[in-house]
Homo-oligomer: A and B are copies of this chain.
Amino acid sequence: LARAVTATDVAREAGVSQATVSYVINDHPSHRIAPETRTRVLAAVERLGYTPSAAARALRRGTTNTVLLVLPDVPWGPTLATLVDALTDELEPLGLELVTRRLRPGSRQGAPWKELRPLVVVCIMDPLAPDDEAEIREAGIPVVGALLSPVTEVDSTGAAQIVVGRLQVEHLAARNHTVIGYAAPDDVRVGSFLRLRLEGVRLACLELGLDEPRVIQVPLDARRAAKAVTQWRSRPEPVTAVCAYNDEVAMAVLAGLQRLGLSAPGDLAVVGVDNIPLAALMSPPLTTIDQNEQKIAHHLARRVISAIQGDPPPARLRSDALTLVVRESA
């Protein structure tokens, strides 16, 4: 109903040209505005409650202040929510706006990068087909967090999610476990993450001369988790330690153990991933891999900035963004 306030309205109110309003708003460097004029314009802006239209600005400038975050169609766990939250916070003071878009393989939702013309595309958990990525880069839009690397790369060891799996196994091997199980989630939507974490576990087992990990799906249900525990502990060569896909699945394993009158780490060692707040409250308190979302977000933000400025990317994320938290379950 009420027409929005435009720069022209402000100009009329302040008795200047519309262009001058724009110069004041943007603090244009080559355009020195008389302090008195400036004050008058700002007063008018305040009085009318003027905010420039993002659409007009984007159209004129040919670009936005937007960072497009693309994700595959996975459920939002606490880690992802925290990461997005932290990244929003990192970008906000830089005047950058994080817009999140889920990419479903099926739905023809067009190409959000063309529609939105973001400054940078940040890509987490590998939602982009190679074609898409090439297309974005061809359009002159940098892509951060690319390739198979979900979240971000860590050192030369490889993608972060692979490192996660590796850290789990290394800890268990150091405690003399030689037959390792893997507790996979029930949810098919987490496919790409699962694949990578499991890959890390597989690689580590291989390098350390251990058997292939014995993978079982563990639903978030004590009874069915107990069944999985029983399978793992069956002879010959019972599994003595389990890497869980995440802390939730780990808790299911703990609940399964409890149901059988068993406990970690004595009957079966368990190590999770995520270090959710509840990890310390489980019984026994859960040994897990902490992904420091603040550090990861900070690093992603730095990569976004250098991509915008055309600088070379900053050093890779120090691996201390991923740390093993040793509690009692393993």
Contact = CB atoms under 8 A, between A and B. Distances in A.
A50 to B, nearest CB: 8
Given A55-B117, A59-B59, A85-B75, A220 B281 contact: yes
Contact of A283 (B49, B107, B110, B283): B283
29 contacts: A1-B139, A1-B140, A4-B114, A4-B117, A51-B114, A51-B115, A52-B115, A54-B55, A54-B58, A54-B117, A55-B58, A55-B117, A56-B59, A75-B85, A76-B78, A77-B78, A78-B78, A78-B81, A80-B81, A92-B109, A221-B281, A222-B281, A248-B277, A248-B278, A251-B281, A252-B281, A254-B281, A278-B278, A283-B283
Interface of A: 1-2, 4-5, 49, 51-56, 58-59, 64, 75-78, 80-82, 84-85, 88, 92, 99-100, 102, 107, 109-111, 114-117, 135, 138-140, 220-222, 248, 251-252, 254-255, 258, 277-278, 280-281, 283
A59 B227 CA distance: 59
Given A4-B139, A81-B81, A222 B51 contact: no
Given A53-B114, A55-B56, 15 more contacts: A49-B111, A53-B59, A53-B117, A54-B115, A54-B117, A59-B59, A76-B81, A76-B82, A76-B85, A77-B78, A80-B81, A220-B281, A222-B281, A258-B283, A283-B283
